[in-house]
Structure 1
Amino acid sequence: MAATIETPENNLNKDLALRYLIKPATITTGKQKALMLLHGVGSNEQDLFSLAKYLPTNYTVISPRGPFILGEGRFAWYQVDFSSGKPEINVAQEAQSREIIREFIGQVKEKHKLDEVYLGGFSQGAIMSYTIGLTQPELVAGVLAFSGRILQEIRPLVAEKALLKDLRVFIAHGTQDGTLPVHYAREAKTYLEDLGIKPSYHEFNAGHQITGEVLTAVSDWLKI
């Protein structure tokens, strides 16, 4: 694994398997819930953390940094090549990140006394969220996939239907997405339904991005 580099972020926590930012919940009655947000390829932990102010205040928001360096302030969960016209992933790096995220979720639950963790992300972060939720559903209460896809490579590892019955899934995807076209979201919806999961599914007239409309929809979903 590549060694991480320092950024000027003074609030970056370095005590667990991944470096991360955290915004504690301001309402702490009932179950202690957290939303863990995984950034896309070439971004960093500060990207999705900026959305915390738009999310329900009874959730602690946690934003970790991907373990692989692409450049100054640019990180990934695995390297991906689009030169063939379709995304080709570094399988070994994806498996390594999957294990690190699994470890990190356990550490976060213990350190911050959390009852439930929802795992979500944008693009590559959404892909990793799908992977963790579908292969290790006992770790998370739900998955939020913004502009992502379900990897073919992990489908043989997906848990049995009986173990997936309580997994909540939220999908949002732009119909004008030129990076990961909307057919990936539609395929994911069908695949999940075949597993007995009924996702909250949303298509938006947007590109490869998270819009205000998406944030409103996901906030409402998290409040249920």
Structure 2
Amino acid sequence: MLETVEQQTGASPEWSVIWLHGLGADGHDFAPIVPELVRPHWPAIRFVFPHAPKRPVSINNGLPMRAWYDITSMDFRNRADAAGVAESVAQVEELIAREQERGIPLERILLAGFSQGGAITLSAGLQRRQPLAGLVALSTYLPEVDAAAAQLAAGATAQPVFMAHGSGDPVIPVQVAEHSMQVLKELGFGVEWHRYPMAHQVCAEEIHALGDWLQARFAQP
């Protein structure tokens, strides 16, 4: 089981958000976003921020760092190490199962991720036969996008998706993200897409829009 950083917004959480960080960061990276995101009238939420394992990253001269998969190419069609993606998806599934054991049903578990973490979020979501409450993919893309239809599990498209990206992102060009978004829509996912004048980061407007989207999830019966 991956080590995690956890925050609860109240006693006896009714919802869980599992949030995956980007390359070279760790579970502490997005923990400060919780007070900016959470609204007073929301149900109690457990935020789970796992640490990715350390592994050599090829494009960084094999330097070991926290990464959800190795980056083997600058070409986004085969950029992600497939075995690493599969391993991380399995580790995320363990975290989802633990939240179920803690009493949170799948329909109240959300999976979120930034950059590499968002790539794992979309990969995991695509393969889920039992849908989660939703997927949040920030400044990211879908690995193996051309083979996405072959990975699609029955029931996966019931998961709503929030995607946001910077128009000036130098790490993952916005066109790559938009292509992933279009493929997800063609597969049948309901995607809410946002584009902001920023680089590879998050911004206040994005956090507010995500809050609105999450609020709609919490309002579901």
Q: Report the counterpart of residue 90 of structure 1 in structure 2.
A: 81
Question: 5+ unaligned residues in a row in structure 2: which ranges?
Answer: 58-62, 217-221
How far, CA to CA, are the matches of 1:51 and 1:169 in structure 2? 19
Q: How does 1:1-224 map to 2 (within 5 A)?
A: 17-26=1-10, 32-56=14-38, 57-58=42-43, 59-69=45-55, 74-82=65-73, 84=74, 86=76, 88-111=79-102, 113-115=103-105, 116-138=108-130, 140-152=132-144, 155=148, 156-160=150-154, 163-224=155-216
How far, CA to CA, are the matches of 2:213 and 2:129 in structure 1? 19
User: What is the TM-score normalised by the length of structure 1?
Assistant: 0.82
In the alignment, residue 82 of structure 2 is paired with which amino acid? V
CA RMSD of aligned residues (A): 2.3
Deviation at 1:164, TM superposition (A): 2.9
Cα 1:69–1:95 shift into 2, 3 Å:
same
1:216 aligned counterpart, secondary structure: helix
- Percent identical pairs in the alignment equals 25
How far, CA to CA, are the matches of 2:129 and 2:206 in structure 1? 24
How far, CA to CA, are the matches of 1:68 and 1:141 in structure 2? 29
How many pairs were matched up? 202
How far, CA to CA, are the matches of 1:165 and 1:37 in structure 2? 20
Question: 5+ unaligned residues in a row in structure 1: which ranges?
Answer: 1-16
C-alpha contact (below 8 Å) 1:102/1:139 kept by paired residues:
no
How far, CA to CA, are the matches of 2:161 and 2:86 in structure 1? 22
2:46 aligned counterpart, secondary structure: strand
User: What is the TM-score normalised by the length of structure 2?
Assistant: 0.83
Deviation at 1:42, TM superposition (A): 0.8
How far, CA to CA, are the matches of 1:148 and 1:126 in structure 2? 5
